[in-house]
Amino acid sequence: QELYDRYEFSFNQYIKEKVIPTLEEKQGEYMLKSLVIRWDNHKLMVRWLSRFFNYLDRYYVQRHHIAPLNDVGINCFRSLVYEKVKVNMKNAVLELIDRERDGEKVDRVLIKNITGIFVQMGMGTMEAYQNDFEKDLLAHTAAFYGRKASQWIAEDSCPEYLIKAEECLNSERERVQQYLDRTTEAKLIAKVEHHLLEQFETELLDKENSGCSALLMQDKVSDLARMFRLFSSVPRGLQPIAEKFKQHVTKEGLDLVQSSEKAVANAKKGEKSSTSVEQTF
């Protein structure tokens, strides 16, 4: 028991004396880089000490039904370091993601390492990642694209807006592949689609000279294909487009019928005029 207790005490002492002071003197991206180094060192220390005291894990831990040495070491880091810096971690990562969304090049490997720490702090679950990071990431994403959408809808034509929306969705999918957990993708894309597409669909389709009706009249196939592709992922997103298409087909059909009737009427008038001339002579 004394050896088991000393094992945990050694971790706590090391963290308080070496790790926390190093992290407290740094902010933002520098803090994240230091945290990654400290976490990697901690995992290495846990692995080797667990092997060194393997006897405890094989006999003492099993016999007394207590936490294995690996879990004790990870819990020390979680309770003393992670709980202290998790808010700063989250804010620093969100700042990096916003900078990348605005076109700046950022350290994607660093972000991936930090999101990995959020996952590992769940000790086999996604609880820490979801509660301490993902929840605020989604709220931050909603606010970011809400601002962008308000700006673009006022400045851009419908095709220009949809091009930007498609680029944003592709970028968010790439972010998931590069440094976010795959379980985030569906939630993240839903947020982007809601704020860029769903909220402004009526305004986009009704835009003068560039909305859905104008694109149909001008036979803009690629723009219409993009519109269909994007709104097919939005709940009930195709229904307003279908209504516009119906109105367009109906109008075009009626115009053709009226043109045909007018042509027939003109033809009949021409025949009557010709008959009158022949009778006169």
pLDDT per residue over 211-251, tens digit each? Answer: 888 898 888 999 999 999 999 999 888 998 899 888 888 88
pLDDT at 92: 96
Whether 221 contacts 159, CB under 8 Å: no
Query: Of 258 and 151, which is predicted with more confidence?
Result: 151
pLDDT at 271: 62
- The angle subtended at Cα 158 by Cα 163 and Cα 252, nearest 5°, is 120
**Whole-angstrom distance between the N-terminal and C-terminal Cα of the chain?**
130
Tokens of 274: 């010709």
Residue 85 has pLDDT above 50, yes or no: yes
pLDDT at 277: 42
Please tell me the distance from the alpha carbon of residue 70 to that of residue 65, in angstroms, as a whole number.
Answer: 14
How many Cα atoms occupy the beta-carbon half-sphere of 217 within 13 Å? 10
Helical H runs in the chain? 2-14, 20-24, 28-52, 54-55, 62-64, 69-77, 83-101, 108-120, 127-129, 135-155, 158-179, 185-196, 201-205, 212-217, 221-231, 238-280
Query: How many whole angstroms from its chain centre is CA 23?
Result: 30
Confidence of residue 112 (pLDDT cuts 50, 70, 90): very high
Over residues 133-152, mean pLDDT: 95
